[in-house]
Chain A
């Protein structure tokens, strides 16, 4: 079974609107971390946001927020007020296990977001 599932291969959003990118995960470990990375066409991987499994609040970083629904095992990325520069591939990733003893990130297959002017 896939550990990280991103079901939207591609999405469009109008500039200045909000968009949600879906991510579901599968783990039996009570301690885990969820990450979102952005990969623009230039190819680098840019860290956006992190959510720990024990975090009580949903993570937010500027225009990025993570809609964490633990019971549903989903960690959707919400981008508010989309900008043309948000056009990129977005990857969800999971670390299984406590952060001080687990080092592997498992990545989803990504969602390509295109922001329309």
Chain B
């Protein structure tokens, strides 16, 4: 059981370039999330997918798009990267098991936009 995996671990982009961050979970969870963490701050929700086939905006969606490819995979796309998008990106998933709806996180992707 790998849990939540993310690729790549590190990425450097130039302003205006595009890229897709990949996330996959093997816990059969229904819901998946993308967060960003800026230095010295907590995580902020970018987008989430409550279930396969649905996506919704979080707190900071501007400049991003997402795709829930199937139940396992949820990708985050930056169409035209900006320096303000330099951050650490975390993917998470949750499955409403009996008791709690705990979100489990991937290891993160550290993105730098020059």
CB distance from B38 to the nearest CB of A (A): 10
CB distance from B71 to the nearest CB of A (A): 15
CB distance from B20 to the nearest CB of A (A): 21
Bound: A108/B45 CA distance, A: 12
Cross-chain contact B104 with A107 (CB below 8 angstroms): no
The interface size bin for chain A is: 20 to 34
Bound: A104/B107 CA distance, A: 19
Bound: A100/B50 CA distance, A: 10
Which of A33, A95, A105 contacts B43, CB < 8 Å?
A105
Q: Is the interface of A mostly helix, strand, loop or mixed?
A: strand
Bound: A112/B27 CA distance, A: 30
A14-22, A44-52, A62-70, A75-83 - interface stretch: A44-52
- Measured CB to CB, the residues of B under 8 A from A are 31, 33, 40-45, 48, 50, 56, 58-59, 88, 90, 92, 94, 96, 100-108, 110
- Measured CB to CB, the residues of A under 8 A from B are 4, 33, 35, 37, 43-47, 50, 52, 91, 93, 95, 99-100, 103-105, 107-110
